[in-house]
């Protein structure tokens, strides 16, 4: 154990974003433990802080740690394929829900045990007691090491960083800042409302990436036939493509639709909303623009009719309201829509870090 007091320590957090306080906590964990396990999850997630992006931050700053960074869609896949018993708790859920979820990740998913929990929070003592006295348990007492609880050594909190881009730039490493500052802009809307054209025009105007609609790509590859399994692939690939674009972006990524659209087509094609698609549809954005169907449908040989377009628009209005996702409606000719988006960007109307609220 190289004279370290603990064999395996656990650090759990949102890491949204990974800041200098987290860096200090993980350094202390490495000093105390021969092996460090880091678990990261958040529900809802925060824009520009996806599970994959968080994992890349953690692996960069804790290269010797074992990292498990998950999202709700990953957990739903476990539930459908592996019999995993628990859905991912909401950030607002009670302590016991989070403690049990984390215990099962450690003991049943990873098949590990731990000696110590390291936190910078008041919950650490209770968490360690819960793990120590769990009915299945690890067979030994789990200790708690509290690190810089009052933020005297590294005065920072994730909540404060998410509220201020000025604070974030000072309190996160430059490589984290390069990812975190990228604002994710999403265009939603029914068929033939200008989403693809808008996203490409804005990406060109700001010299930043566009994320194409993967559902359209797969639909064309499959000659216009999609299965429920294809929709899951679409949701997965769409989110992965957003992560890739974020790594290339300077300031923005412009998303031609989101996994919410995949959920819409699951409703339309199969009258079904699988839990995994619901989870993919939780993907958050800094700002969502909803394109109004206020000009005639342009039929390209693949689209349905005006009645379906009206149904789609109503579906988006209903689901955005249910999920409490703020959005800006884009109306009028294309040139006006482009100017509305540019105005939001250039006047700072995009919230620095907002998140969908799951109903």
pLDDT digits (tens, 9 = 90+) for 35-72: 999 999 999 999 999 999 999 999 999 999 999 999 99
Please report, to the nearest 10 degrees, the dihedral formed by the alpha carbons of residues 222, 225, 227, 231 taken in order: 70
Q: Quick one: angle between helices 259-270 and 228-248, nearest 10? A: 170
Q: What is the pLDDT of residue 350?
A: 55
Contacts of 142 (CB under 8 A, 6+ apart): 114, 115, 116, 117, 128, 131, 132
Q: What is the pLDDT of residue 224?
A: 87
Q: What is the pLDDT of residue 354?
A: 37
Q: What is the C-alpha to C-alpha distance for residues 19 and 25, in angstroms, rounded to an integer?
A: 10
Question: Rounded to the nearest 5 degrees, what angle is found at the Cα of 26, between the Cα atoms of 39 and 123?
Answer: 60
pLDDT digits (tens, 9 = 90+) for 66-104: 999 999 999 999 999 999 999 999 999 999 999 999 999
Mean pLDDT of 266-273: 95
Q: What is the C-alpha to C-alpha distance for residues 146 and 253, in angstroms, rounded to an integer?
A: 38
In this prediction, residue 296 has a pLDDT band, given cuts at 50, 70 and 90, of: confident
Of the candidates 86, 82, 53, 80, the one whose C-alpha atom is nearest the C-alpha of residue 69 is 53
Q: What is the pLDDT of residue 353?
A: 36
Mean pLDDT of 329-345: 94
Structural domains of the chain, ranges and CATH numbers in brackets: 6-177 (3.40.50.620), 182-346 (3.40.50.300)
In this prediction, residue 359 has a pLDDT band, given cuts at 50, 70 and 90, of: very low
Residue 197 has pLDDT above 70, yes or no: yes
Residue 247 has pLDDT above 60, yes or no: yes
Query: Quick one: which H or E segment has residue 180?
Result: helix 174-180
Residue 106 has pLDDT above 90, yes or no: yes
Contacts of 239 (CB under 8 A, 6+ apart): 50, 73, 259, 280, 283
Helix (H, G, I), strand (E, B) or coil at 88: coil
In this prediction, residue 251 has a pLDDT band, given cuts at 50, 70 and 90, of: very high
Q: What is the pLDDT of residue 306?
A: 83
Residue 305 has pLDDT above 70, yes or no: no
Q: What percent of the chain has pLDDT over 90?
A: 86
Q: What is the pLDDT of residue 274?
A: 96
Q: What is the pLDDT of residue 358?
A: 35
Average pLDDT, the chain: 92
Residue 7 has pLDDT above 90, yes or no: yes
Mean pLDDT of 97-121: 97
- Kindly report the pTM of this predicted structure: 0.92
């Amino acid at each position: 154990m190289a004279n370290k007091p603990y064999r395996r320590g656990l650090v759990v957090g949102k890491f949204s974003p990974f800041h200098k306080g987290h860096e200090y906590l993980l350094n202390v964990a490495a000093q105390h433990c021969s092996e460090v396990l880091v678990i990261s999850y958040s529900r809802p997630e925060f824009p520009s802080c996806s599970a994959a992006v968080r994992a890349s931050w953690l692996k960069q700053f804790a290269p010797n740690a074992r990292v498990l960074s998950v999202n709700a869609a990953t957990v739903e896949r476990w539930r459908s394929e592996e019999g995993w018993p628990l859905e991912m708790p909401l950030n607002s859920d009670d302590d016991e829900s989070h403690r049990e979820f984390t215990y099962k990740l450690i003991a049943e998913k990873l098949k590990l045990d731990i000696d110590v929990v390291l936190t910078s929070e008041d919950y650490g003592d209770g968490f360690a007691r819960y793990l120590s006295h769990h009915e299945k348990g690890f067979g030994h007492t789990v200790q708690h090491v509290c690190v810089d609880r009052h933020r005297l050594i590294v005065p920072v909190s994730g909540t404060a960083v998410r509220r201020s881009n000025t604070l974030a730039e000072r309190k996160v490493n430059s490589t984290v800042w390069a990812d975190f500052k990228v604002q994710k802009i999403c265009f939603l809307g029914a068929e033939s409302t200008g989403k693809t054209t808008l996203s490409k025009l804005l990406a060109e105007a700001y010299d930043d990436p566009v994320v194409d609609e993967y559902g359209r790509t797969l639909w064309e590859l499959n000659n216009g036939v999609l299965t429920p399994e294809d929709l899951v692939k679409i949701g997965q690939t769409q989110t992965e493509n957003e992560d890739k674009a974020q790594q290339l972006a300077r300031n923005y990524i412009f998303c031609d639709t989101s996994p919410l659209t995949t959920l819409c087509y699951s409703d339309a094609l199969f009258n079904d909303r699988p839990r995994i698609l619901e989870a993919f549809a939780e993907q958050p954005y800094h700002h969502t623009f909803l394109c109004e169907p206020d000009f005639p449908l342009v039929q390209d040989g693949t689209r349905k009719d005006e009645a379906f377009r009206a149904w789609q628009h109503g579906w988006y209005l209903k689901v955005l309201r249910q999920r409490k996702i703020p959005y800006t409606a884009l109306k009028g000719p294309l040139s006006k829509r482009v100017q509305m988006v540019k105005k939001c960007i250039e006047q700072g109307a995009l919230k620095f870090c907002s998140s969908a609220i799951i109903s």
